[in-house]
Structure 1
Amino acid sequence: MLLLVILSACDTSIQPIVDKGKAYSIYGPLDIQKTPNYIRVHDTNDLLNPDLTKDLGVQVTMTNLNTGASQLLKDEVKVFDSLYTHNFEIPDSLEYDTRYKFSLEDEDGYRDSVISVTTKETELTVIQDSVSCGELFMLRFTNVDLNAGERIETEVGIKVGVAWMYTKRPANFRQYNSATNTLTMGWSPNYVSELIFGPFDWVTCSTFSSDKIKFSFTHVGYMEEVQPNAPNELEFDQLYTPNQVVLSKYKGSTEVTIDSTVFN
């Protein structure tokens, strides 16, 4: 789940600093379920190099704004997609529902910062299971603050023949209660088949080779005071300005069952 911001004296005030055209990309998909995580920093005035990379001369500090605790992150040069990149290691586990500020300062005094807000931990409940081909299986997520900027990305899979096939397209049914931060979603097995095979080639769920439907989700956090781009089906690193993406996330999964009478 994060944002690029430049702060003045107050952590919640954002005032970009312009200094001789300097700019650094700050990128970090922060996985709450994994340790360590990394913040990748690049001087946008320099080309990425497949052979080597120069010293950035940059310090990155991470501050837990909920507690006030800060730590200086260690820079490690790693190869990513055949390119050498600077990655600042976050050695400790990340906490749910926490504001993290990542502050950058280079040797010339240029400063920049982003604030990333991690998600709350959701509880996933299967409301409707053991469904027929045209009946919706219903799932409910709690602690999802869509109004703040959190997102739930979903993937649903069916097995036809020997292969599992998946779709990330929207559910048949979607309802959000902003008062309780509860999101309810539903798919029918036949609708999932139509999403995967198309409106003319889909197959009924009675021909599936498994009575299970696999479901997985990614709960994504947000960056404070940054407006995400409008399209709903962008990839993780396309939601915000390309140079500043620090978003927390975690994943979960479950299975639902197609009623056994469908296969009789």
Structure 2
Amino acid sequence: MSHTHPGWNWILLPLTGLILLTGCDASFQPIDDDAGLFSVYGYLTLSGGPHFLRVKDLDTPLTPDSTRVLDATVTLKNLSTGRTETLTDSIVLFEGIYTHNFRADQDVQPATRYRITITQGDGKTRATATMPEETEVDIEPNGAVGCVQNVFVNFQNVSRKRLLQMSVGIPWRGPLNWVRVSDFYSGDDGALIGQFNPASIVRRVVSERVLGTVGFQPEKFCSLLDRNRIYVAYTRFGPDWPADSVRADPTRSAVKNGLGTFGGLDRDTLVKSITPSP
């Protein structure tokens, strides 16, 4: 199912972070002399390719002339099978600066490690990402749910809250409106369980004035929606996904001889029907 995931700006931000932080200042210099050769930002997903990984030469000032060409070879290797793919450069012009987004087309496998290598002469920048397992998830109760009925999303093979995000989308006045759900608790088997009820999501999206048209009765909130469905989008990150502190401070990244963020994830959207309001 094709969809746009909520809350993904924080993942995409690093891809343009160096440009946004430095603007078009031709005097821009690397963060420090030991930063390395290249920065790499991007992720691999089990949802299918292609995948785009942004690479920048850390010794190159951010000017149109200097960023037009990136003199490097970028490869992606499956560390289990040894398959190595040389990535194709896809150049994007962003506010007068050329950005280099390298495209990977190989099938990404669950629970597998991948290494990106950026080579320039005798120098190399490397980063490794471990893909998560395929996520085992189900929603209870079965069948349609009432507007004030609790919904439980069971992530059977996920145990670390840091490696999971979930949002609920409701169809309201055309587009889906997404609300992040952070209410997770551990089940008896150690799996993570997310909990919400549709009325609580509607309350966070729809104005008080509109809620008043159904008498502020939560069991009738879902009658305001464009259709009787809710959508649950989740993202499960790989076990070595960088911590928030790394994304805030790229000098703390695990990229060898470079900077940035490189990781693996699994994501999907589930659909649940809502029983018509009384």
Does the Cα contact within 8 Å between 2:92 and 2:101 map onto a contact in 1? no
Q: Deviations over 1:27-72 (max 9, x none)?
A: 12323223332322101232344567354332333222223x0425
Q: Deviations over 1:73-129 (max 9, x none)?
A: 23424115454222333231111111112223322x333211101111112211125
User: Does 1:114 pair with 2:139?
Assistant: no
User: Does 1:219 pair with 2:236?
Assistant: yes
Does the Cα contact within 8 Å between 1:156 and 1:192 map onto a contact in 2? yes
TM-superposed deviation, 1:253: 1.6
Q: Deviations over 1:177-213 (max 9, x none)?
A: 5965x22111112211233247998653514233322
Alignment-derived partner of residue 54 in structure 2: 40
| CA distance in structure 1 between the aligned counterparts of 2:116 and 2:108, rounded to whole angstroms | 13
SS at match of 2:181: coil
Following TM superposition, the consecutive aligned residue runs of length 4 or more in structure 1 with deviations greater than 4 angstroms are 18-21, 49-52, 177-180, 197-203, 237-240
What amino acid is aligned across from residue 229 of structure 1 in structure 2? D
User: Does 1:59 pair with 2:73?
Assistant: yes
What amino acid is aligned across from residue 120 of structure 1 in structure 2? E
SS at match of 2:153: strand
SS at match of 1:139: strand
Which structure: greater strand fraction?
A: 1
User: Does 1:157 pair with 2:166?
Assistant: no
Unpaired runs of at least 5, structure 1: 2-17, 231-236
SS at match of 1:194: helix
Q: Deviations over 1:203-229 (max 9, x none)?
A: 5351423332222222232546x5x12
Which structure: greater helix fraction?
A: 2
How many equivalent pairs are there? Answer: 231
The structure 2 residue matched to 1:127, chosen from 140, 152, 158, is 140
Alignment of 1:70-149 (within 5 A): 70-79=83-92, 81=94, 83-107=97-121, 109-129=122-142, 130-144=144-158, 146=160
| CA distance in structure 2 between the aligned counterparts of 1:178 and 1:60, rounded to whole angstroms | 45
**Compared CA separation, residues 143 and 47, structure 1 to 2 (3 A):** farther
User: Does 1:246 pair with 2:259?
Assistant: no
Does the Cα contact within 8 Å between 1:157 and 1:166 map onto a contact in 2? yes
Alignment-derived partner of residue 41 in structure 2: 27
TM-score (normalizing by structure 2)? 0.68
| CA distance in structure 2 between the aligned counterparts of 1:239 and 1:258, rounded to whole angstroms | 40
What amino acid is aligned across from residue 211 of structure 1 in structure 2? N
| CA distance in structure 1 between the aligned counterparts of 2:230 and 2:34, rounded to whole angstroms | 55
Unpaired runs of at least 5, structure 2: 1-10, 12-31, 252-258
**Compared CA separation, residues 186 and 200, structure 1 to 2 (3 A):** farther
| CA distance in structure 1 between the aligned counterparts of 2:136 and 2:148, rounded to whole angstroms | 26
Q: What's the % identity of the aligned pairs?
A: 20
TM-score (normalizing by structure 1)? 0.71
**Compared CA separation, residues 81 and 152, structure 1 to 2 (3 A):** farther
